[in-house]
C-alpha cells in the first residue's frame, strides 16, 4: 500500500479531507495499469473473442459490446431480485453507533462455557478490538474461546459490543440493503427513488432484445460490458478489495436452451459445454496477463453453494496477502439458466424471446420453420479493480540486494510504462540520440502505454525508479552508441544487460509487448 501511494498507483479518495471509507482513486501509474487491464479484456473478449478459439459448437465465438447507464428503471432491480434480496443482516451498537454484519460478530466466552451472569465480549474479525476484547475476557474467565454471536440466545443483554463500555447495546439483526439510492428529477419522494446499479449485468439483460433485434447476431453469442458498479458494503476493507464503488467486466453469453438442441449438439453445444469453455478460458486469460503463479485457483462451487437458478458456478480466486492462506474472488462464472431474462419478461411484459430461424421443423422447401425461445445464459463476471489489485499483489517483489529493494514485476502487456530511454550522461550528444530513440518508441508504442525519458540522477537510481514502476525494459545510450550504433537493454526481472543495435530496439520491444 505504501508503494502504491509513493509511486502513484492508488490514493485514498478525498485524502486531504480524511478519506471516505470504501472509495479509492488511481494515480498516474494506477490509471494506466487499470486501463491496460480493461483494454486487454476488451481486446480478448470482444475484438478477438477467446483468442480466436472456436466454441464447443465448432464455430468462432461471437461477441458484441454495450454501454448502459448506472441508473436504470427501478423496476429492473425489483425484477432482478436486488430490491428484495440484496441484503445483509446487520447488528447495530446503540452506544458506539458501530454497524456489523451479523455473521461476522463473534464473542469470547469462558472455555468452560460457564459465564454465569458475567458480561461476554464481542469482536468482529480482524478489527483492532479483537485483542482488547480477548484481554478483557481472559481477565474475567482465564481461558476463553470464541463463538458466533448467533450461538447466544437473544436478548444479548450481557454482550459487550466491540469498542463499547456497557453491555446490552447490540440490536437484533436487521436487513440492510446494499444498493445506493438516489432521486432523479426535482421531486424528492419515495415514488421517484432510483438506484445506482450494483452490477453491470442487468443493463445487458434489459437491452438483450434490442441487441438481437437490431444487429446481425444469433444465439450463441455474447454481450460484454465494462463499467462502474456501486454497493454500499457494510464493511469495506482490504485496500480496494471490497470497495463501495468499483468497476466490473461482465459477459452475458446467450446459448440455445437444452430442449431446443438436436442430436450431436446436445453434448457439444449444450449450456454446460459452454460453461466449461468459458470457465477454462477465463482462468487461462488471467494467467496470460501475469497471474501465472499458484496464487490463482479455479474453484468449482459445491451443489449446496449454488443459487437456486444456477446449475453450475465456479470462482476464479486469488490468494491476496490479506486473505492468505485463504483466497478472494476475482471472477465468478455462472450458468444462470434463463432466470434473468424470464424475470424481465415477467416484470416488463415484453417478450424476451430470440427467434432462431435455424431450428424447428424442416418445411417442404427445405428451410426451417424457426423457433422462439428465451436463451440460457453463461455469465463470466470479473472485477476490474479487483483484477488491478491482484496484478499489484502478484507483481510486488522484494529483493534487498537491488537498488530498489521493492519492484513490480508486471506482465509487459499490463505494465503502465512499457520502456524507458536514458542517456548515460548529459553531454557529448548522448541526450540527442536518446531523444530520437524515445520519440520513435513513443510514436510506435504510445497506444499501448508510456515510454519514459529520464536523464536525471545516476543510472542505478534511474533503473531503480523504473523497477518500482514495473517498467520491463530500459534502453541506455552511452559513448559506445556513438561509435557502433548499439545501446544497452536492461531486463527488469533479471537485471541483466545486453548490447543491441539501436535500429533493432523497436522490433525487439514490439516482440516483447506482443504487438
Note the residues at the interface with ligand GAP (CB under 6 A).
199, 201, 231, 233, 242-243, 246, 248, 250, 329-332, 381-383, 385-386
Q: 478: helix, coil or strand? A: coil
CA distance 133 to 122: 7
Q: Which is nearer to ligand GAP, 233 or 265 (CB)?
A: 233
- Indicate the burial class of 264 (C-beta count within 10 angstroms; 0-12, 13-18, 19 or more): exposed
Query: Shortest gap between Cβ of 334 and ligand GAP (angstroms)?
Result: 7
CA distance 13 to 82: 27
User: For 503, what's the count of Cα atoms within 13 Å in the CB-facing half-sphere?
Assistant: 2
Neighbours of 309 (CB within 10 A): 16
Query: Shortest gap between Cβ of 10 and ligand GAP (angstroms)?
Result: 13
Its sign, for the CA torsion 41, 42, 47, 50, is positive
Neighbours of 94 (CB within 10 A): 13
Query: Shortest gap between Cβ of 160 and ligand GAP (angstroms)?
Result: 30
Q: Which is nearer to ligand GAP, 339 or 410 (CB)?
A: 339
Q: Which is nearer to ligand GAP, 201 or 489 (CB)?
A: 201
Q: Which is nearer to ligand GAP, 130 or 252 (CB)?
A: 252
Peptide bond into 220 cis (omega under 30): yes
Q: Which is nearer to ligand GAP, 246 or 275 (CB)?
A: 246
Query: Shortest gap between Cβ of 199 and ligand GAP (angstroms)?
Result: 4
Query: Shortest gap between Cβ of 249 and ligand GAP (angstroms)?
Result: 9
Q: Which is nearer to ligand GAP, 243 or 338 (CB)?
A: 243
Q: What's the length of the chain?
A: 515
Query: Shortest gap between Cβ of 39 and ligand GAP (angstroms)?
Result: 18
Neighbours of 419 (CB within 10 A): 29
Query: Shortest gap between Cβ of 127 and ligand GAP (angstroms)?
Result: 18
Neighbours of 267 (CB within 10 A): 11
**What letters, b where the CB count within 10 A reaches 16 and e where it falls short, cover 53-65?**
eebbbeeebbbeb
Query: Shortest gap between Cβ of 57 and ligand GAP (angstroms)?
Result: 24
Identify whether the C-beta of residue 257 lies closer than 8 Å to the C-beta of residue 274. no
Cα 329 to the chain's mean position, in Å? 8
CA distance 12 to 21: 9
Q: Which is nearer to ligand GAP, 156 or 205 (CB)?
A: 205
Residue nearest to ligand GAP (CB): 383
Share of the chain residues as helix, strand and coil, in percent rounded to the nearest 5? 35, 30, 40
Q: 16: helix, coil or strand? A: helix
Query: Shortest gap between Cβ of 332 and ligand GAP (angstroms)?
Result: 4
Q: Which is nearer to ligand GAP, 266 or 299 (CB)?
A: 299
Sequential DSSP letters for 264-333: THHHHSSHHHHHHHHHHHHHHHHHHTT--STTEEEEEPPGGGS-TT-SEEEEEEE--TTTTTS-EEEEEE
The residue behind cell 536492461 is 490
Query: Shortest gap between Cβ of 381 and ligand GAP (angstroms)?
Result: 4
Identify whether the C-beta of residue 490 lies closer than 8 Å to the C-beta of residue 496. yes
Identify whether the C-beta of residue 429 lies closer than 8 Å to the C-beta of residue 280. no
Grid coordinates belonging to 14: 478525498
Q: Where are the beta strands (DSSP E) in 338-375?
A: 354-356, 371-373
Grid coordinates belonging to 79: 425484477
Query: Shortest gap between Cβ of 201 and ligand GAP (angstroms)?
Result: 4
CA distance 99 to 473: 48
Q: Which is nearer to ligand GAP, 55 or 387 (CB)?
A: 387
- Indicate the burial class of 157 (C-beta count within 10 angstroms; 0-12, 13-18, 19 or more): exposed
Q: Which is nearer to ligand GAP, 38 or 242 (CB)?
A: 242
Query: Shortest gap between Cβ of 89 and ligand GAP (angstroms)?
Result: 18
Q: Which is nearer to ligand GAP, 85 or 507 (CB)?
A: 85
Query: Shortest gap between Cβ of 248 and ligand GAP (angstroms)?
Result: 5
Q: Which is nearer to ligand GAP, 121 or 318 (CB)?
A: 318
Q: Which is nearer to ligand GAP, 205 or 475 (CB)?
A: 205
Amino acid at each position: 500500500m505504501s508503494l502504491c501511494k509513493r509511486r502513484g498507483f492508488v490514493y485514498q479518495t478525498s485524502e486531504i479531507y480524511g478519506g471516505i471509507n470504501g472509495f479509492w482513486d488511481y494515480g498516474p501509474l494506477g490509471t494506466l495499469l487499470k486501463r491496460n487491464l480493461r483494454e486487454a479484456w476488451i481486446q480478448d473478449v470482444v475484438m478477438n473473442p477467446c483468442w480466436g478459439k472456436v466454441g464447443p459448437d465448432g464455430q468462432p465465438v461471437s461477441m458484441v459490446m454495450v454501454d448502459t447507464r448506472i441508473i436504470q428503471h427501478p423496476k429492473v432491480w425489483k425484477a432482478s431480485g436486488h430490491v428484495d434480496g440484496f441484503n445483509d443482516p446487520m447488528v447495530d451498537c446503540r452506544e458506539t453507533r458501530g454497524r456489523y454484519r451479523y455473521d461476522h460478530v463473534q464473542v469470547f466466552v469462558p472455555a468452560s462455557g460457564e459465564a454465569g451472569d458475567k458480561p461476554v465480549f464481542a469482536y468482529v474479525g480482524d478489527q483492532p478490538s479483537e485483542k482488547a476484547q480477548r484481554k478483557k475476557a481472559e481477565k474475567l474467565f482465564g481461558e476463553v474461546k470464541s463463538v458466533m454471536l448467533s450461538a447466544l440466545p437473544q436478548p444479548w443483554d450481557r454482550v459487550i459490543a466491540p469498542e463499547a463500555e456497557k453491555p446490552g447495546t447490540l440490536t437484533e439483526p436487521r436487513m440492510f440493503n446494499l444498493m445506493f439510492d438516489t432521486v432523479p428529477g426535482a421531486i424528492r419522494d419515495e415514488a421517484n427513488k432510483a438506484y445506482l446499479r450494483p452490477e453491470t449485468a442487468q443493463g445487458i439483460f434489459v437491452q438483450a432484445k434490442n441487441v438481437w433485434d437490431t444487429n446481425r447476431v444469433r444465439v450463441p453469442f455474447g454481450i460484454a460490458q465494462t463499467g462502474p458498479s456501486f454497493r454500499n458494503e457494510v464493511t469495506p476493507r482490504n485496500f480496494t478489495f471490497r470497495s463501495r464503488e468499483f468497476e466490473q467486466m461482465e459477459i452475458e453469453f446467450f446459448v440455445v436452451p437444452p430442449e431446443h438442441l438436436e442430436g450431436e449438439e446436445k453434448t457439444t453445444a449444450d449450456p454446460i459445454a459452454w460453461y466449461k469453455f468459458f470457465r477454462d478460458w477465463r482462468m487461462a486469460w488471467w494467467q496470460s496477463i501475469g497471474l501465472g503463479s499458484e496464487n490463482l485457483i479455479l474453484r468449482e462451487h459445491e451443489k449446496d453453494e449454488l443459487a437456486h437458478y444456477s446449475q453450475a458456478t465456479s470462482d476464479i480466486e486469488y490468494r491476496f496477502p490479506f486473505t492468505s492462506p485463504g483466497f478472494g474472488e476475482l471472477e465468478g462464472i455462472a450458468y444462470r439458466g434463463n432466470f434473468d431474462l424470464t424475470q424481465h419478461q415477467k416484470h416488463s411484459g415484453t417478450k424476451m424471446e430470440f427467434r432462431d430461424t435455424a431450428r424447428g421443423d424442416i418445411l417442404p422447401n427445405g428451410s426451417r420453420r424457426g423457433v422462439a425461445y428465451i436463451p440460457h445464459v453463461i455469465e463470466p463476471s470479473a472485477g476490474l479493480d479487483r483484477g488491478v489489485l491482484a496484478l499489484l499483489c502478484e507483481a510486488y517483489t522484494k529483493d534487498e540486494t537491488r537498488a530498489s529493494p521493492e519492484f513490480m514485476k508486471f506482465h509487459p502487456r499490463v505494465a503502465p510504462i512499457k520502456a524507458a530511454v536514458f542517456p548515460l550522461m548529459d553531454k557529448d550528444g548522448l541526450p540527442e540520440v536518446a531523444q530520437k530513440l524515445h520519440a520513435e518508441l513513443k510514436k510506435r508504442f504510445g497506444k499501448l502505454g508510456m515510454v519514459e525519458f529520464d536523464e536525471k540522477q545516476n543510472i542505478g537510481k534511474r533503473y531503480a525508479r523504473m523497477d518500482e514502476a514495473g517498467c520491463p525494459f530500459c534502453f541506455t545510450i552511452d559513448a559506445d552508441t556513438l561509435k557502433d550504433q548499439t545501446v544497452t537493454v536492461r531486463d527488469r526481472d533479471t537485471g541483466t544487460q545486453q548490447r543491441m543495435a539501436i535500429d533493432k530496439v523497436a522490433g525487439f520491444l514490439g516482440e516483447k509487448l506482443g504487438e
